[in-house]
Amino acid sequence: MPERQSGQVRRISVVGAGHVGLVTAACFAELGHEVVCLDIDEERINQIRSGVLPFHEPGLPELVQKHIGKTLWFTTDHDTAIRNAEFVFLAVATPTTALGTADLRFVRSAARAVARATNGRRPILVSKSTAPVGITETLESILSAEANGSGPLTVVANPEFLQEGTAVRDFMEPDRVVIGSADIEARAAVGELYEPLKRPVLYTDIKTAEMVKYASNAFLATKISFINEIAEICEKVGADVRDVARGMGLDPRIGSAFLQAGIGFGGSCLPKDVRALSHLAAIYGSHPQLLNTVLEINAEQRRRLITRLRHVLGTLRGAKIAVFGLAFKPGTDDTRDSPAFDVIRLLEYEEATIRAYDPFAMEETKRFFPDIEYASDAYEAAAGCDAVILATEWQEFKDLDMRHLRSVMRRPVLIDGRNAWDGDEATNAGFLYFGMGVPDMASAQAEEITA
C-alpha cells in the first residue's frame, strides 16, 4: 500500500488511452503526479507520442504536450506501466452488446493483464470504466486470482463524470468526486489524489458508487426525453418549448441544464448507460418502465423529424436533403450513437439523396456512410437541396447567412433538429422553418411547397 501523505507525488498508471483514460492521465500529470498511460493499440500510442491525439478535446493537446516525456509517458507494455505504479486506473471501453448489455471483455482482459504485471506489488486498482453494478467486485476476484504473487488486490470504484468537449475542465473542476470501496484506507488514498481540486468527495461502498454513475446519466437522459415529450405537446397546442424550458429552469429544484429539446441524446454514454441500466434492472426482476420510455422517446424524436419532413415535401423519394452536423453534439468529432446517423439511416430508407457536412466529424462518418455525398461547407452542402436538417448545433451553423443559404437551395425548407436557429430570421429570409416544439409558423405555407 502506498504511504498516505497529502501532497505527495504519486506513481499512477492509466490503462486505456481513450477519452476518459487520456484526460485522466494528462490531468493527474498536471496535478503533479508521475503518470504512465498504457494502451494495447500500438498505432494510437505512437500517434500520441508524436503529438497527434486520437480525438478532439479542447485543452487536452496542450496538457499532453506540456507533460509528455517529463511526468507523463505512453506505452504499450504492461510491465513498464504497472511495475512501479501505486495506483492503476482502469479506463477501458465498455461498449454495448446487441442485447443492450455492457460488453465487459475489454475490462476483464485489461484487469487480467494488470494483475499479471503486478509482480508482487499491490497497487490500488481504480475502476473508472462505466460497467454494470457489481463489476468492480468481479474485478477484485479476477485480480486476486491472477495477481502475480502479490496476494489480494484492492479495487476502488471511481466513476467519471466528464462531458466530451469540456472533459479537462470537468476533471479539474468536478462538481463531485465519488469514491467507493469497503477498504477505508484505499479509498482515502484515492481521495487524496483529488484533494488539490478542493471539491466535494463522496465516499461510499463500491456498488453505490457504480450506481451513482448510472443514475446520473439516466437522470440526464430522462430530463432530455421529458422535455422532448413536452416539446411534442407544445407543437400540438401551439406553445413554445424553448420558453417553457426557460420558465421551468428558473426553478432551482428543476434547473435549466439538459432541457434543450431536439432530436434527442446520442454519444457513447447516455444511450449505452440507460440501456445497460435497464437491462441490469430487468435481470434483477425489476420493470424499468421509465428508463425504457426514455429510450423510446429518444428514438421517436428522430422518426418524428423525418415524418415531418416527408409531410412538408410530399415524398422523400428522390428529394435532395442536406444534413448539417454529424457529431453527436458540438465540440467533438465523436459520432458514436449520433442522432445525425439515425437521421441519415432514415433518409436512406426513404430513398432520399443525402449531402452531409460537419466541421470536425466527416472522416469518421465516411467510414460508416461511404455512399452519401459530402460537402466542404454548409452552403455547398445545401446547394440545390430541397431541405436542410440541422442535426448538430455547431456555432458555424448558427452564424450562417440565412438569405445566402436560401439563395443556394432548390426548395426553402429548414428542419431545425436542435432549435438553434431564430425562426423569425429564417422565415424573413424566405424559409419554411420547423423547430422541435416551437409554434409552427410554416405549416400554413407548407401546402404550397408540396404542390
Closest by Cα among 260, 298, 259, 276 to 210? 276
The contact pattern for ligand UGA, residues 262-291, with x = CB under 6 A and - = no contact, is x-xxxx-xx---------------------
One of 136, 154, 260, 335 touching ligand UGA (CB under 6 A): 260
The dihedral through the CA atoms of 366, 313, 380, 351 has a sign that is positive
All three cell numbers of 72: 507523463
Residue 124 CB: number of other CB atoms within 10 A?
22
What lies within 8 Å, CB to CB, of 351 at 6+ separation is 316, 317, 318
Least distance to ligand UGA, CB of residue 102, Å: 12
Least distance to ligand UGA, CB of residue 248, Å: 12
d(CA 143, CA 185): 19
All three cell numbers of 261: 429539446
- If one asks whether residue 397 binds ligand UGA (CB under 6 A), the answer comes out as no
Does 385 qualify as catalytic in the annotation?
Answer: no
H or E element in which residue 341 lies: helix 339-349
- If one asks whether residue 55 binds ligand UGA (CB under 6 A), the answer comes out as no
One of 36, 91, 131, 224 touching ligand UGA (CB under 6 A): 224
Q: Of these residues, 27, 37, 234, 269, which one is catalytic?
A: 269
d(CA 85, CA 87): 5
Nearer to ligand UGA, 274 or 316 (CB): 274
Judged by CB under 6 A, which stretch of 108-116, 159-167, 397-405, 428-436 contacts ligand UGA?
A: 159-167
- If one asks whether residue 231 binds ligand UGA (CB under 6 A), the answer comes out as no
- If one asks whether residue 164 binds ligand UGA (CB under 6 A), the answer comes out as yes
Closest by Cα among 53, 91, 419, 436 to 268? 91
One of 64, 162, 212, 274 touching ligand UGA (CB under 6 A): 162
H or E element in which residue 190 lies: helix 184-194
Contact 127, 90 (CB under 8 A): yes
- If one asks whether residue 161 binds ligand UGA (CB under 6 A), the answer comes out as yes
- If one asks whether residue 333 binds ligand UGA (CB under 6 A), the answer comes out as no
DSSP state of 410: S
Judged by CB under 6 A, which stretch of 158-166, 194-202, 276-284, 369-377 contacts ligand UGA?
A: 158-166
d(CA 131, CA 95): 9
Least distance to ligand UGA, CB of residue 328, Å: 4
All three cell numbers of 356: 452531409
Nearer to ligand UGA, 181 or 260 (CB): 260
- If one asks whether residue 298 binds ligand UGA (CB under 6 A), the answer comes out as no
- If one asks whether residue 12 binds ligand UGA (CB under 6 A), the answer comes out as no
d(CA 139, CA 155): 7
3-state helix, strand and coil shares in percent for the chain, rounded to the nearest 5: 45, 15, 40
Least distance to ligand UGA, CB of residue 109, Å: 21
Angle (nearest 5°) at CA 377 between 376 and 380: 90
The contact pattern for ligand UGA, residues 339-358, with x = CB under 6 A and - = no contact, is --------------------
- If one asks whether residue 22 binds ligand UGA (CB under 6 A), the answer comes out as no
Active site residues: 269
- List residues binding ligand UGA (CB under 6 A): 130, 160-164, 217, 220, 224, 258-260, 262, 264-267, 269-270, 328-329
